[in-house]
Amino acid sequence: MLSFLQGLAQPGGKMVLVVLDGLGGLPHPETGLTELEAARTPNLDRLACQGSCGLSVPVAWGVTPGSGPGHLGLFGYDPQRYVVGRGVLSALGVGVELASRDVAARANFATREGDRIVDRRAGRIPTEECRRLAALVEQRAGQVEDVQVRVYPEMQYRAVVVFRGPGLDPRVTDSDPQATGVPALEVQPRVPEAARMARVANQFLARAWQALEGERPANALLLRGFDRRPDMPQLGELFGLRAAAVAHYPMYRGLARLVGMESFEAGPSVAEAFDRALELWDGYDFLFVHVKGTDSAGEDGDWERKRRIIEEVDAQIPRLVERRPDVLVVTGDHSTPAALRSHSWHPVPLLLWGPRARRDSWVRKFGESDCARGSLGRIRSTDILPLMLAHAGRLAKFGA
Amino acid sequence: MLSFLQGLAQPGGKMVLVVLDGLGGLPHPETGLTELEAARTPNLDRLACQGSCGLSVPVAWGVTPGSGPGHLGLFGYDPQRYVVGRGVLSALGVGVELASRDVAARANFATREGDRIVDRRAGRIPTEECRRLAALVEQRAGQVEDVQVRVYPEMQYRAVVVFRGPGLDPRVTDSDPQATGVPALEVQPRVPEAARMARVANQFLARAWQALEGERPANALLLRGFDRRPDMPQLGELFGLRAAAVAHYPMYRGLARLVGMESFEAGPSVAEAFDRALELWDGYDFLFVHVKGTDSAGEDGDWERKRRIIEEVDAQIPRLVERRPDVLVVTGDHSTPAALRSHSWHPVPLLLWGPRARRDSWVRKFGESDCARGSLGRIRSTDILPLMLAHAGRLAKFGA
C-alpha cells in the first residue's frame, strides 16, 4: 500500500496529527459516559461537526496494541508487517539512536540465590541504583570480542543493552526465564546465522554476573526481546515530506524517527507540546504531536485525570486551527479505558478536519458514540495517513 | 490471522455464541419490517442497547453463503480458504464422523432408461425406500479392492457414500451429469494421484448399478462433490479453549467438530437447545448454540414462523445473561429472508454484549435497521471470534 501511494505522491499542503495516547474509553458505570464524552471539549466538538468522524481500528478487530504497533499504524505502516521488538522499543524509550545493525535487548536487574532467579525485579531497586549498576556492568563487560556493549539505565530495575559490532543477528532466545525459582536460560541461536550473537550475549552475561557478584539485591542481569530496528521505508522519501514529531517521552520520539521524522522534545505539559509544535510550524509539512497523559491516566484508572488532560488538549486546539492546516487529525493510538486500567482493543475516536473534508453536521460531540455514527465509519488506522495526504492535496489521481 | 491470534492467546473468561440460522431478513412489503424487526424481543433489545451492534458480512459483499461457509466464518475461519466439499457436508449432515483420510461423496438415487439418466431424483422416493436401497447397495458393493465403502441414507433420494482405505485422493470428477437425457459420467482423476480413487469409485458405481438393476424408479446411483474433511487448526490448540456446540441437526454438530468443538445433540425446540447449553455451562469456555428454525421458516417463506422462533430465542436469553458470561454474541450465519425463500448475501444483524463492551445507547431494537447504525459497523464474520476472545480477556497485548 505504501509503495502504491508513493506512486501517487505530489507536493501539497500542511498536515497535523494530534495523538492523545490511549484516547478511547468505556462508559462510566454511573454516568454511562466515556472519559472523552464526559470531557468539556467545545473546540473539538466544533471540529467534529465541521469535519469527518469515525472510529479507528489500530491493528485488527479484537487486538490490543502496544505503543509500537499503535503508532506505526497511525504513521501508515502495517503493524503486523513492521514489528518493533521489545529491545528496540526499550532502546527508543531511553533515547538511544540505534544504527541499523545494532542489536538491542531489554534488561532486568534481578536477584538470584545460587543459580536460581528469586526476584526478576531485584526488589524494584531505585533508579539511582540502576544507574550505578548499569555503569558498573558496562565498565566490566562493555567489550566482548570485537563487539561494543552499552548498558543504558531506565527506571528502577529496567535497563537496555545495545550490542554494536559486525555480524550480529538478533534471532536468539531470551536469557530471562520469565519465572522465578528457576535458573536463567542460556541465550541460544534460533537460526544458524545467529550463533555469534548468542555467544557474545552469553559472554557478556557471564561477565555482567561477575561484576554484580557482591551486590544486593541486584546480583543478576536478565536479557529478553533481542531485536534490531526494522528496515522501514522513510516518510520523507515516500511522500517528499518534511515530518516532525513532538513528544515529551523518548519512546514516541524514537518511534517517529524509525519512519523518518525529525523528533523534538517538549516539556511535560500539554501546552508545552503545542508550544513546540507551533515553533516548528513553518519548517515542516507534517507535524505529529504526542500527548501521553491520557494513556497514563487510563492505566491508573483515573477517570478524572484523563478527562482533564483531554480538556487541556481541547484548549490548545484553536492555536492549531488558526494556523489553517490543510488537514488536522485528532485521534489515539489505541484505547486505554480507565474502566480496564490497561490498553484495549476498542476502536478509537477519530476526527479529520480541514477545508476539503466532508462535514458530519449531525455530530454534536467528539466522542465514541458520535464517532460511531460518523461518515468515516470504522477504518483501519493505516488508512488515516492516506486520507491526510489526500486532504493536503498530496496524492495525484490514480489512473486516467 | 488465526496463527497471529494464536500468538496472543492467554487464559480468560467465558464466551457464548448464539446463532439463529438465516437470521437476517428483508422488509415485509406491507409493514416495512423484517422478520427480526417485527418480532417482540425485549431481552435482545436491552442487550443491543447495553452492548455493541453491527452487521456481519459472512464471506464477502454480495456472496450468499451455504451452511458450511456461514458457520466456518463465525468460528473464525476464512471460508474462502477452508472449503468444506459437498460430500463432506452431506456426511456431517447424517452424523458420520469422518476420519482425516476418508473421502465422502454426495449420492442421488436416480432413474435411468438404458444408459440415459431420465430423473436425477428417482421421483423423490420416500426416505424408507432410500434406507432400504442404501443397505442393499452397501451389502453388494461395500468392499472395492481394499477400500470399505459405506452408504448412508439421507432424506428421500439423497444419500452419502464414504470411501475408507489407503491412498484415496478426492480430486476426481463427478459421475452425476447434473442434467437429464444424457448418460452418467465416468469418474476421472483431476490429478494423477487420484487415479486409484477414480478407479475405486467407478468399480463401486458399476456394482451399485448392478444391485439396483431390478428396482423402480431408483435404478441408478450418481455421485458428486468428492472431498475429504479440510485440515483445520483446532480451536482448543489455537486458543486453549474447551469449546462445546449444541445443535439439533447433525450437520451443525459436524461443522463444529471440524474446528475442534465437542458436539452435543439437543431436542428440536429452542428451549431444549438452551437447556443443554446451560447443563454444559461449567465444563466449557466457549458455548455455541445453534437454532435452525429461523432458516427453515425463511426458506419456506413463512414470515410468521420465523418471527415466532426469534421470539422463542428472546425468551431464553435471560437464562444465559444471568450466568454472566464475559461475552455473549447473538447473530446468524447468513440471511434467509422469507421474502426470498432462500439464503441471501445480505449482512446479518450482530450484537455483542458483556461487561467490557462499548454501549450503543442510541440503539432501540435488535434488528437490521438499528444494527446498521451500531458501533461495530459492517464487519466480516471472521472478525467476530477475535472480538469475543478480546472481550473474554483471552488475547494479550500485541507488541510493547
* pLDDT for A21: 98
Around Cβ B345, how many Cβ atoms within 10 Å? Answer: 16
Examine the pLDDT at B62 and tell me if it is beyond 90.
yes
Which element (helix H / strand E) includes A308? helix A303-321
Asked whether this complex has an ipTM greater than 0.95, the answer is no
Work out how many CB contacts closer than 8 A connect A with B: 93
Q: Touching check for A59 and chain B: CB below 8 Å?
A: yes
Q: Touching check for A32 and chain B: CB below 8 Å?
A: yes
Pairwise CB contact (< 8 Å): B395 & A59? no
Query: If you average pLDDT over residues B93-106, what whole number do you get?
Result: 92
Pairwise CB contact (< 8 Å): A378 & B379? yes
Q: Which of B4, B356, B379 is opposite residue A61, by nearest beta carbon? A: B379
Instruction: For A80, name the nearest residue in chain B, comparing CA atoms only.
Output: B4
The three-class DSSP label of residue A9 is: strand
Around Cβ A77, how many Cβ atoms within 10 Å? Answer: 24
Q: Touching check for A225 and chain B: CB below 8 Å?
A: yes
Pairwise CB contact (< 8 Å): B359 & A86? no
Query: If you average pLDDT over residues B144-152, what whole number do you get?
Result: 97
* pLDDT for A20: 98
* pLDDT for A341: 97
CA distance A224 to chain B (A): 12
* pLDDT for B131: 96
Pairwise CB contact (< 8 Å): B356 & A225? no
Instruction: Quote the mean pLDDT of chain B.
Output: 96
Please list, in sequence order, all residues whose beta carbon lies within 8 angstroms of the beta carbon of residue B85, skipping any fewer than 6 positions away. Answer: B104, B170, B225, B226, B227, B228
Q: Touching check for B383 and chain A: CB below 8 Å?
A: yes
* pLDDT for A101: 94
Residue with cell 436401497: B133
**Rounded Cα–Cα distance for residues A286 and B42 (Å):** 50
Instruction: For A62, name the nearest residue in chain B, comparing CA atoms only.
Output: B387
In DSSP notation, B196-218 reads HHHHHHHHHHHHHHHHTTT-SS-
Radius of gyration over alpha carbons of chain B, in Å? 23
Residues from chain B that touch A63, judged by Cβ atoms under 8 A, are: 5, 8, 386, 390, 395, 398
**Rounded Cα–Cα distance for residues A285 and A283 (Å):** 7
CA distance B28 to chain A (A): 26
Pairwise CB contact (< 8 Å): A55 & B374? no
Residues from chain B that touch A53, judged by Cβ atoms under 8 A, are: none
Instruction: For B378, name the nearest residue in chain A, comparing CA atoms only.
Output: A378
Instruction: For B363, name the nearest residue in chain A, comparing CA atoms only.
Output: A369
Examine the pLDDT at B250 and tell me if it is beyond 90.
no
Pairwise CB contact (< 8 Å): A64 & B376? no
Q: What is the pLDDT along chain A (400 residues), one digit of tens a residue?
A: 899 999 999 999 999 999 999 999 999 999 999 999 999 999 999 999 999 999 999 999 999 999 999 999 999 999 999 999 889 988 988 889 899 999 999 999 999 999 999 999 999 999 999 999 999 999 999 999 999 999 999 989 999 999 999 999 999 999 999 999 999 999 999 999 999 999 999 999 999 999 999 999 999 999 999 999 999 999 999 999 999 999 998 889 999 999 999 999 999 999 999 999 999 999 999 999 999 999 999 999 999 999 999 999 999 999 999 999 999 999 999 999 999 999 999 999 999 999 999 999 999 999 999 999 999 999 999 999 999 999 999 999 999 8
Pairwise CB contact (< 8 Å): A64 & B398? yes
Q: What is the pLDDT of residues B9-18, one digit of tens each?
A: 999 999 999 9
Q: Touching check for A87 and chain B: CB below 8 Å?
A: no
The phi-psi region of residue B326 (left if phi > 0; otherwise alpha if psi is between -120 and 50; otherwise beta) is: alpha
* pLDDT for B93: 86
Pairwise CB contact (< 8 Å): A62 & B376? no
* pLDDT for B348: 98
CA distance A338 to chain B (A): 12
Pairwise CB contact (< 8 Å): B395 & A64? yes
Pairwise CB contact (< 8 Å): A60 & B376? no
Q: Which of A62, A69, A340 is opposite residue B399, by nearest beta carbon? A: A69
Q: A343 exposed, middle or buried (CB, 10 Å; 0-12, 13-18, 19+)?
A: buried
Examine the pLDDT at B141 and tell me if it is beyond 90.
yes
* pLDDT for A308: 98
Q: Touching check for A84 and chain B: CB below 8 Å?
A: yes
How far CA B316 is from CA of B272, B295, B298, B328, in Å, comes to: 10, 18, 21, 13
**Rounded Cα–Cα distance for residues A225 and A398 (Å):** 41
Q: What is the pLDDT of residues B153-199, one digit of tens each?
A: 998 999 999 999 999 999 999 999 999 999 999 999 999 999 999 99
User: B95 pLDDT band (50/70/90 cuts)?
Assistant: confident
Instruction: For A72, name the nearest residue in chain B, comparing CA atoms only.
Output: B399
At residue B7, φ and ψ (nearest 5 deg) are -65, -20
A367, A20 Cβ separation under 8 angstroms: no
Q: What is the pLDDT of residues B50-60, one digit of tens each?
A: 999 999 999 99
Query: If you average pLDDT over residues B66-83, what whole number do you get?
Result: 95
